[in-house]
Structure 1
Amino acid sequence: MECLTTKHYKYMDLEKRYHMIYPESSNATYTSLLNYSDDLNKPFQRWYRYKEGFSTEMVEQLIREYSIHKKGVILDPFSGSGSTLLAAAHMGYQGVGFEVNPFSCFLSRCKLESCSGEEREQFREAYERILEQASETEQEYVLPGLSISHKVFEKQVEAYFMRAGQLMETDLNLTEKVRNLLKLGWLSCLEPLSHYRKAGNGLKIKKYVKPRVVTPEDARNMLLEEYRNIYADLQEHSQQGKTKLYQDSCLNMNRYLEEKSVEGIIFSPPYANCFDYTEIYKLELWFGKFVSDYGDLKRLRNQSLHSHLNGDLSPEPEPESEILEELLEELKDRKLWDKKIPRMLRLYYRDMFQVLRESCRVLDKDGFCCIVVGNSAYGGVVFPADLILAEYGERTGFAVDKIEVDRYIITSSQQYEKTKETGKYLRESVVCLRKNK
Structure 2
Amino acid sequence: MTLPFGNGREAGNGLGVTFRDSKRLPVHGWYPYVEGFSAQYVTDALLRFDSRPKNIYDPFGGAGTAQVAASHVGLPSFYAEINPFMRFVAETKVSSAAWAQQHLLVWEKAAGKYLEEVAPQRLRKAARSVDLAGYHAAFPNRDFFEEQHLRELLAAVRLAEEIAGRRQHVKNLLLLACAANTVKSSHMTRRADLRRRRPDEYKTRMVDVSQFISSTVSSYLQDIRTLSTPLGSSAYISSDARSIPDSVAESIDLAITSPPYLNGTNYFRNTKLELWLLGFISSESDLGPFRQQAICAGINNVSAVRGEPRFFPFVEKVASKLDEVAYDQRIPKMVRHYCSDMHAVLQQTYRALRPGGHFLLDIGDSCFCGVHVPTDNFITSLAQDVGFECIAKNLLAERYSKDSTQLTQVELVFRKPTSMNCRRNPAATGLREKIRQFGASLPYKEPPYTKRNWGHPLHSLCSYQGKLKPAIAHWLVNIFVPQGGSVLDPLGGVGTIPFEASSSGRFAVSVDKNRFAATVASAKLRPPRLEDACRSITELGNLIAETRTSDEDYAAAEFGLNARVVDYYHPDTLAEVLKARKLFLSRSDWPDDMIFLWASLLHILHGNRPYALSRTSHPITPLNPSGAFEYRPLLGRLKQRVETA
Matched, 1:300 2:283: no
Looking at structure 1, the residues matched to 156 and 227 of structure 2 have their Cα atoms a distance apart, in angstroms, of 27
Matched, 1:141 2:131: yes
Taking structure 1 as reference, are residues 121 and 337 closer, same or farther at Cα in structure 2, changes over 3 Å only? same
Q: Which deviates the most, 134-143 or 244-253?
A: 134-143
One-letter amino acid of the counterpart of residue 250, structure 1: A
Matched, 1:431 2:412: yes
Deviation at 1:43, TM superposition (A): 0.3
Which deviations, in whole Å up to 9, do the C-alpha atoms of 1:132-174 show, x marking residues without a partner? 4323333232342332686122232222222222222344635
The 8 Å contact of residues 267 and 372 in structure 1, kept in 2 or not, is answered as: yes
Aligned to 1:6: none
Looking at structure 1, the residues matched to 311 and 50 of structure 2 have their Cα atoms a distance apart, in angstroms, of 30
Taking structure 1 as reference, are residues 209 and 40 closer, same or farther at Cα in structure 2, changes over 3 Å only? closer
Looking at structure 1, the residues matched to 234 and 269 of structure 2 have their Cα atoms a distance apart, in angstroms, of 28
Task: Report the 3-state secondary structure (helix = DSSP H, G, I; strand = E; otherwise coil) of the residue aligned with 1:91.
Answer: coil
1:282 to 260, 263, 272: 272
Matched, 1:81 2:45: no
Deviation at 1:214, TM superposition (A): 4.1
Aligned to 2:144: 152
Task: Report the 3-state secondary structure (helix = DSSP H, G, I; strand = E; otherwise coil) of the residue aligned with 2:254.
Answer: strand
The 8 Å contact of residues 295 and 341 in structure 2, kept in 1 or not, is answered as: yes
Question: Which structure has the larger Rg?
Answer: 2
Matched, 1:130 2:117: yes
2:49 to 46, 61, 66: 66
Aligned to 1:240: 231
The 8 Å contact of residues 19 and 401 in structure 1, kept in 2 or not, is answered as: no
The 8 Å contact of residues 407 and 428 in structure 1, kept in 2 or not, is answered as: yes
Task: Report the 3-state secondary structure (helix = DSSP H, G, I; strand = E; otherwise coil) of the residue aligned with 1:165.
Answer: helix
Looking at structure 2, the residues matched to 90 and 30 of structure 1 have their Cα atoms a distance apart, in angstroms, of 26
Aligned to 2:443: none
Looking at structure 1, the residues matched to 189 and 9 of structure 2 have their Cα atoms a distance apart, in angstroms, of 37
Aligned to 1:178: 170
Looking at structure 2, the residues matched to 391 and 209 of structure 1 have their Cα atoms a distance apart, in angstroms, of 43
Deviation at 1:209, TM superposition (A): 6.7
One-letter amino acid of the counterpart of residue 95, structure 1: S
Looking at structure 2, the residues matched to 262 and 26 of structure 1 have their Cα atoms a distance apart, in angstroms, of 25
Looking at structure 1, the residues matched to 250 and 50 of structure 2 have their Cα atoms a distance apart, in angstroms, of 14
The 8 Å contact of residues 34 and 192 in structure 2, kept in 1 or not, is answered as: no
What are the equivalent positions in structure 2 for 1:154-233 lying under 5 Å apart? Answer: 154-171=146-163, 173=165, 175-208=167-200, 211=203, 214=206, 218-233=208-223
Deviation at 1:295, TM superposition (A): 4.2
Task: Report the 3-state secondary structure (helix = DSSP H, G, I; strand = E; otherwise coil) of the residue aligned with 2:401.
Answer: coil
Looking at structure 2, the residues matched to 329 and 348 of structure 1 have their Cα atoms a distance apart, in angstroms, of 15
Task: Report the 3-state secondary structure (helix = DSSP H, G, I; strand = E; otherwise coil) of the residue aligned with 1:65.
Answer: coil
Looking at structure 1, the residues matched to 188 and 182 of structure 2 have their Cα atoms a distance apart, in angstroms, of 9
Taking structure 1 as reference, are residues 38 and 388 closer, same or farther at Cα in structure 2, changes over 3 Å only? same
Task: Report the 3-state secondary structure (helix = DSSP H, G, I; strand = E; otherwise coil) of the residue aligned with 2:337.
Answer: helix
Looking at structure 2, the residues matched to 344 and 210 of structure 1 have their Cα atoms a distance apart, in angstroms, of 36
One-letter amino acid of the counterpart of residue 322, structure 1: P
What are the equivalent positions in structure 2 for 1:7-406 lying under 5 Å apart? Answer: 14-15=1-2, 18-21=3-6, 27-28=9-10, 31-34=13-16, 35-66=18-49, 68=51, 70-113=52-95, 114=98, 115=100, 116-132=103-119, 133-137=122-126, 138-142=128-132, 143-144=134-135, 145-147=137-139, 151-171=143-163, 173=165, 175-208=167-200, 211=203, 214=206, 218-238=208-228, 240-246=231-237, 248-253=239-244, 255=245, 257-311=247-301, 313-314=303-304, 315-317=306-308, 319-334=310-325, 336-406=326-396
The 8 Å contact of residues 122 and 174 in structure 1, kept in 2 or not, is answered as: no
One-letter amino acid of the counterpart of residue 430, structure 1: E
Looking at structure 2, the residues matched to 181 and 327 of structure 1 have their Cα atoms a distance apart, in angstroms, of 46
Task: Report the 3-state secondary structure (helix = DSSP H, G, I; strand = E; otherwise coil) of the residue aligned with 2:183.
Answer: helix
Looking at structure 2, the residues matched to 318 and 196 of structure 1 have their Cα atoms a distance apart, in angstroms, of 36
Could you say which structure has the greater relative contact order, defined with CA pairs below 8 angstroms and 6 or more residues apart? 1
One-letter amino acid of the counterpart of residue 253, structure 2: E
Alignment RMSD (CA, Å)? 2.3
Taking structure 1 as reference, are residues 266 and 29 closer, same or farther at Cα in structure 2, changes over 3 Å only? farther
One-letter amino acid of the counterpart of residue 101, structure 1: N
The 8 Å contact of residues 313 and 343 in structure 1, kept in 2 or not, is answered as: no
Taking structure 1 as reference, are residues 75 and 67 closer, same or farther at Cα in structure 2, changes over 3 Å only? farther
Looking at structure 1, the residues matched to 375 and 281 of structure 2 have their Cα atoms a distance apart, in angstroms, of 32
Taking structure 1 as reference, are residues 249 and 126 closer, same or farther at Cα in structure 2, changes over 3 Å only? farther
The 8 Å contact of residues 274 and 308 in structure 1, kept in 2 or not, is answered as: yes
One-letter amino acid of the counterpart of residue 408, structure 2: R
One-letter amino acid of the counterpart of residue 49, structure 2: Y
Aligned to 1:5: none
Taking structure 1 as reference, are residues 237 and 73 closer, same or farther at Cα in structure 2, changes over 3 Å only? same
One-letter amino acid of the counterpart of residue 45, structure 1: H
Looking at structure 2, the residues matched to 347 and 53 of structure 1 have their Cα atoms a distance apart, in angstroms, of 23
What is the percent sequence identity of the aligned residues?
Answer: 23
Task: Report the 3-state secondary structure (helix = DSSP H, G, I; strand = E; otherwise coil) of the residue aligned with 2:248.
Answer: coil
Deviation at 1:407, TM superposition (A): 1.3
Looking at structure 2, the residues matched to 209 and 281 of structure 1 have their Cα atoms a distance apart, in angstroms, of 20
Looking at structure 2, the residues matched to 174 and 125 of structure 1 have their Cα atoms a distance apart, in angstroms, of 17
Task: Report the 3-state secondary structure (helix = DSSP H, G, I; strand = E; otherwise coil) of the residue aligned with 1:382.
Answer: strand
Aligned residues: 405
Looking at structure 2, the residues matched to 150 and 79 of structure 1 have their Cα atoms a distance apart, in angstroms, of 31
The 8 Å contact of residues 42 and 69 in structure 2, kept in 1 or not, is answered as: yes
Looking at structure 1, the residues matched to 157 and 9 of structure 2 have their Cα atoms a distance apart, in angstroms, of 49
The 8 Å contact of residues 71 and 92 in structure 1, kept in 2 or not, is answered as: no
Q: Which deviates the most, 270-279 or 319-328?
A: 319-328
The 8 Å contact of residues 265 and 297 in structure 2, kept in 1 or not, is answered as: yes
Task: Report the 3-state secondary structure (helix = DSSP H, G, I; strand = E; otherwise coil) of the residue aligned with 2:358.
Answer: strand
Deviation at 1:87, TM superposition (A): 1.3
Looking at structure 2, the residues matched to 210 and 125 of structure 1 have their Cα atoms a distance apart, in angstroms, of 32
Taking structure 1 as reference, are residues 57 and 90 closer, same or farther at Cα in structure 2, changes over 3 Å only? same
Looking at structure 1, the residues matched to 202 and 288 of structure 2 have their Cα atoms a distance apart, in angstroms, of 38
One-letter amino acid of the counterpart of residue 56, structure 2: I
Taking structure 1 as reference, are residues 364 and 246 closer, same or farther at Cα in structure 2, changes over 3 Å only? closer
Looking at structure 1, the residues matched to 227 and 370 of structure 2 have their Cα atoms a distance apart, in angstroms, of 48
Which deviations, in whole Å up to 9, do the C-alpha atoms of 1:211-262 show, x marking residues without a partner? 55746xx221121111100011111215511211246111121x25432111
One-letter amino acid of the counterpart of residue 177, structure 1: H
Aligned to 1:8: none
User: Could you list the runs of 5+ residues in structure 1 that have no partner in the other structure?
Assistant: 1-13
One-letter amino acid of the counterpart of residue 87, structure 1: A
